[in-house]
A and B are shown apart, each in its own frame.
Chain A
Amino acid sequence: MSFINYASREINCKIVYYGPGLCGKTTNLQYIYNKTAQDAKGKMISLATETERTLFFDFLPLALGEIRGFKTRFHLYTVPGQVFYDASRKLILKGVDGVVFVADSQEERLDANIESMENLKDNLEEQGFQLEKLPFIIQYNKRDLPNCTPIEELRKLLNPNGVPDLEACAATGEGTFETLKAVAKQVLIDLKKGS
């Protein structure tokens, strides 16, 4: 959950990128890291295997600027998408303020997306969260590839509740900042409502 510090006039929020293995979660963070000014970011930490699969998490701290005299900081995390890292995924979700689900648009990953979405719901519920009540954005990634499932179908399967969603190509950065902005906005609106 968010951390409001009246002493240092800071507000910290935690955003988690979720989704099946190789869908592009780490790539999202890397792009944001590369395109963010030095003074607005901290070090990006990636706890990964030798083949660059996320093992525990990626972490990227961002300082976006001030709202009403409070520095707003967002801590971005990715989970490891591979099915057998479920225990780690649960840990990363602790204290989450907003979730981005990164879907892999490739046809052959359709089942993996659905399974990961179910897994997200289960893991949140286990901690007493309801996905419907959290700031939540869906990103349909890898739209540049030729074998993509049509957006309408992805929407029907992954986004029955009609949360904000958008297309992306994290490899070139298309849609990555839009995604971050969309989730950050929801998190701040949530704060405004009073937590």
Chain B
Amino acid sequence: MTHYRQRRRFVRCVQILTAVLFFGLWEATTRLHILDAFIFSSPSRVLATFIDMARDGTVFYHIGVTLYETLLSFVIVLILGTGIAVILWWNRKAAAICEPYLVVLNSLPKTALAPILIVWLGNNMKTIIVCAVSLAIFNTVIHLYTCFSETDGDKLLLIRTLGGGKKEILSKVILPGSIPSLISNMKANIGLCLVGVIIGEFLAANAGIGYLIIYGSQVFKLSWVIMSIVLLCFIAVGLYALIGLLEKIYQKRL
């Protein structure tokens, strides 16, 4: 037990040390003009930029926009994906018809769609949301539909022996039984939605972290770019933790 704890403490120490070393070296090399601070920025400059932008609130505005877009597309994927999977499960013929299209759309690199989306939907948030949704939706539908179809046949029989029909099979067995699978899918989706939103913001935005990155690189404010990337790390970890929390709550209820 103590051995185990010791090992964990060691790992944690090395992890922190690595980070300190990395940022320290970065700072030192730019100060000593080994690295060009104009191109590589430096931790102190990034921090200064952040404090600067935090003071007038702009950074929080951009974070808010990206978070809003990510969560909105995530919820759309969740509802739409589950809805479509239910419809396909209910209607096997529709599922058989849709299958090849789903497979193709799922394997298509969705970033290729982004330029078309701008033409179709315009230079606005709609494009960003659709971009993010398109990135995650097909995989969600396929994953959930497979999960629904693979539900233990005896459980379906059980509902029938209790006098239930297809509707009860769906509401009492299929949906509640798919929650763990849905949660693992959500974990993947939150990341995908963030990717989709950033891609969308690269192309069609005047706010958000993706916009900051593109704008910063265009006007050569590398401190902006790097700060945005660091912020993205925090956002990604935060969103993932949020889903983890949901999972914990669900498991505790069990």
Do chains A and B interact in one complex?
A: no
